[in-house]
Amino acid sequence: MGSLGTFTVFAAFIVPTTWALSLGLALLVDRLRFMRAFYRSVFFLPTACSYVAASLIWKMSLFNGVRFGLANTVIGWFGVDNVAWLANPDPPWYWLVIVTARLWLQSGFYMILFLAALQNIPPELYEAAAIDGAKPGWQTFRYITLPQLRATSTAVILLLLVAAYQAFDEFFNLLSKTTWGRPPLVELYYTALGQDQNYGKGSAGAVVLTVLICVVTLLQGRIMGFGRGEEAK
C-alpha cells in the first residue's frame, strides 16, 4: 500500500508535467516556418531510446553522484557541494533523476499526438476569432486551441496514467535493490521473484494494481468525457 500511495503522488506529478511539456513543444513546432521536420524529429528521437539505456546514461553520466557527473559539475560552478543523487533517500533527490529521465523519454511521443491534433484545427476558427476581436495568444489558446484539443488531451492523460503505474525499467536500473522508492511493478517483481518467491502475494498485488489502473482510467475518462459523441457535448 505504501508503494501505491507513493506512486499515486508520482503519477499526479508526472502526468500533468508531461502533458504541459508535450503540448508546449507541439505549439512551438507548429508555429515554426522553417526546419519544422528537423525539430519535430529532434524532439521525437528520444522516444526511440531504450528506457534501460537512458537510465544508465542518467545514472553514470548525468547524476552519478561524483564530481565528474554533469549535474554536480554544473552545481559546483555555483559553489554547491556534490550531491549523492541516488544514494540517500533523505532528501529524495532520486525523484529528480527519475522524473527528468521520464520527461526526456516520453514527451516527444505525446508532442507528435498534439501536433497532429493542432494541424487538424480548422483555420477558419482563428480567422473568425480575429474578426470578433480576439487577441492572438492566450485568448485564442484558451477559447479555441485548448477546447479543440480536448479529445487528444484525454487520450494523452489516459496513456500517461497507465504508463506511470507501469513504470519499471528506470526504477529497477536507477535504484538497484533499494527498499525505498519502489514502484508497484518493481515491488511485485521482488515479491514474486525475490528471496521469498511469494507467487500468491505477487499475483494478488498484480490484480489489485490492474483494478486500480482500470478504476482510475474509467474515472478520468468519465470526468473528461472520453468516448462521448459530438451530440453529448
Q: Residue 99 belongs to a domain with what CATH number?
A: 1.10.3720.10
The lowest-confidence range among 13-17, 84-88, 129-133, 175-179 is 175-179
Residue-wise pLDDT tens digits, 170-210: 888 888 766 666 777 777 877 777 767 788 878 888 888 88
**Alpha carbon 219 to chain centroid, angstroms:** 19
Average pLDDT over residues 19-38: 90
- Size (the chain), residues: 233
Which domain does 103 fall in, by range? 2-232
CA 171 to the chain's CA centroid: 14
> Number of folded domains in the chain?
1
How sure is the predictor about 83, in pLDDT bands with cuts at 50, 70 and 90?
Answer: confident
Q: Identify the pLDDT of residue 98.
A: 87
Question: pTM higher than 0.85 for the full model?
Answer: no
Helix, strand, coil percentages for the chain (3-state, nearest 5) = 75, 0, 25
Are 207 and 23 a contacting pair, CB within 8 Å? no
Return the C-alpha cell found at 135.
Answer: 487577441
Report the pLDDT value the prediction gives residue 8, as an integer from 0 to 100.
Answer: 78
Residue 206: other Cβ atoms inside 10 A? 15
